[in-house]
Amino acid sequence: MGQFYYKGQEASHLSEAICGRGSRVEAVYPPLRLFEQRGIQGERMPIKPLLLLLYHKDESIRLAAIKVLETQSERVPLEPLVELLGDEDKDVRDVVLRILKKVAPDVLSDLVPQAIAVLQGKVVGDAFTSLTQMYVAETIGGLGIISTKSFEKLVELLDYPSWQVRMKAIQALGQLRRNIPDAALRRLLELRRDPDPKMRAVREAADDALAEILSLETGIEDE
């Protein structure tokens, strides 16, 4: 359990997933290239390195990883798959849907009422509402909306179950920079030290946001 074994035509699909047309994934990206090389040789491989790549900040890396995992979809845990239904990248979501249709159609059936509820404007289910929350965070940051309500919303999103939503909220705070409330700063410091190995993208985003905020404060003090 938790290992790959593939050869022949599946190996060619693997190569295409790693170096596919239009992908920003470099051909020499170590974890994926290693899977290709050993996969062509028919070797067994642990899937943990690929599961970690599902939490990469670059959607091209996530897409390449999920395409590789699709070749051995019955070995992939359901939890990250369900979470990826709320991925910001449509191509990633499409691959995940294919996998779930194959290995866990009952899970998709259970999610149908949630999808319908979201279309009706109701807030249910993390997998679908996370897309809306990402859009909210991006809008606040992109438009530079500095207000009590916008900060309250971003602080709320810093604790959202989806790591991508948390990352978007962090990035929005880094864009706003000014008048960041103490509650947001404290949470950013916590996220910067998140020990979960899957949360590297969140840690880096928090570090970047804090650097932006502190650089502005230092600049103001120097004036």
**14 and 29 in contact (C-beta within 8 Å)?**
no
pLDDT at position 43 is 47
The answer, yes or no, to whether residue 77 has pLDDT greater than 50, is yes
Q: Which residues contact 141 (CB under 8 A, 6 or more apart)?
A: 168, 171, 172, 173, 174, 175, 176
pLDDT more than 70, % of the chain: 70
Considering only CA atoms, which of 147, 54, 52 is closest in space to residue 92?
A: 54
What distances in angstroms separate CA 68 from CA 51, 82, 159, one per listed residue?
10, 17, 30
pLDDT at position 6 is 41
Mean pLDDT of 79-97: 92
Which two structure tokens, joined as six digits, stand for 11?
Answer: 């190996």
The backbone torsions φ and ψ at residue 3, rounded to the nearest 5 degrees and listed phi first, read: -130, 155
How far apart are alpha carbons 55 and 200 in whole angstroms? 8
Q: For the chain, list the domains and their CATH numbers.
A: 3-117 (no CATH), 126-222 (1.25.10.10)
Q: Give the tens place of pLDDT for each residue, 171-208.
A: 999 999 999 999 999 999 999 999 999 999 999 999 99
Mean pLDDT of 73-87: 89
Considering only CA atoms, which of 149, 168, 159 is closest in space to residue 186?
A: 159
Q: Give the tens place of pLDDT for each residue, 103-142.
A: 998 888 877 777 666 555 565 566 778 888 999 999 999 9
30 vs 13, higher pLDDT: 30
pLDDT at position 13 is 47
29 vs 82, higher pLDDT: 82
SS3 content of the chain, % helix, strand, coil (to 5): 70, 0, 30
How far apart are alpha carbons 84 and 111 in whole angstroms? 13
Mean pLDDT, all residues of the chain: 80
Burial of 50 (0-12, 13-18, 19+ CB in 10 A): buried
How far apart are alpha carbons 140 and 174 in whole angstroms? 11
Q: Give the tens place of pLDDT for each residue, 24-46.
A: 444 435 556 666 555 544 445 67
pTM exceeds 0.75 for this model = yes
